[in-house]
Amino acid sequence: MKKAIYHLHIPRTSGIFISKHVYEYSKENNKNFFARNHSTKVILEDFKKQDYITGHYGLTPIPYSQKTFAILRNPTERSFSYMKYIWQGFYSYMNIDEAFMFFLTDKKIQEAISNQQSKFLTSELNVEEYNKNIYDINKHVISGWSLINKEIDKNSVIKSIKDNKIKILFFEDKDLYKKVFNIFELNNIENINFYEKKNSSIPVDLEIYQKYYDKIYEINKIDIDVYNFLKEREVDVKF
């Protein structure tokens, strides 16, 4: 019997904050939780034993889960935040302008960061590759988190969400965390500060965002189409 509740964690959508509290709750209530960090080896059989799963695993845990949800964020803002995260973590020897220019012109990195929300909603995990990268998060990033990508468009992404019964929430929702912890069926959460920001984006001048906005928009066109489609039908995206 499938029992896990799976948070399909798309990078830069508050997953660290969510994972922290789910982990603490699981410890206090004798629940099985997979996994706290990116260095945990993925073994498919382990998914069967979990009460909670959260991670960058695409569609792979869904057959083992009774419920799956994902959080979508405005695609240009999410992509910008992700690029800042990559810069701060792995390319801080460059100034941010140089780093962004590199990310948006290097073919491999551009492929890894483009339409990332849609890729997570349509792709299984290459488990062997993922496990090879668990001790080097930069390899996770450069590989696009070892997702097996397919040819996609807006319609195929929407179809995948429906077929896999992925409940969609939105990062900008003021009640996001309350909804998330309700999905996880967590009790005794009154002490959680729902508006606490974990792993938040580092501040960068708006000028940088505006300078690269057009290119960020261009490489995330599918994400933007999907996001706008679902936002227009927000009350109906409870697949």
Domains of the chain with bracketed CATH:
4-236 (3.40.50)
Residues near 61 by beta carbon (within 8 Å), at least 6 away in sequence: 4, 6, 8, 47, 53, 55, 68
Residue 52 pairs in a beta bridge with: 5, 33
Print the SS3 string covering 128-140: HHHHHCCCCHHHH
Confidence of residue 96 (pLDDT cuts 50, 70, 90): very high
Q: For 66-86, what is the mean pLDDT?
A: 96
4-8: strand order across its sheet:
33-34, 52-55, 4-8, 65-72, 166-170
pLDDT at 94 over 70: yes
* Of the candidates 200, 206, 218, 215, the residue with the CA atom closest to the CA atom of residue 100: 215
Distance CA 206, CA 38 (A): 30
Residue 68 bridge partners (DSSP) = 6, 166
Lowest mean pLDDT among 68-72, 91-95, 178-182, 233-237: 233-237
Question: So what's the pLDDT on residue 239?
Answer: 47
3-state class (DSSP) for residue 218: helix
Q: Is residue 221 classed exposed, middle or buried when 0-12, 13-18 and 19+ CB atoms within 10 A define those classes?
A: middle
The pLDDT of residue 13 is 95
Average pLDDT over residues 192-206: 59
- CA atoms of 72 and 171, how far apart (whole Å): 6
| pLDDT for the residue 2 | 81
Give, for 96, the enclosing helix (H) or strand (E). Answer: helix 96-103
Confidence band, pLDDT 50/70/90 cuts, at residue 63: very high
pLDDT at 198: 44
pLDDT at 199: 46
Band of pLDDT at residue 154, cut at 50, 70 and 90 = very high
Is 65 within 8 Å of 44 (Cβ atoms)?
no
Over 80: is that where the pLDDT of 202 sits?
A: no
Residue 238, beta-bridge partner list: 167
Per-residue model confidence (pLDDT) at position 115: 98
Note the pLDDT of residue 155.
Answer: 98
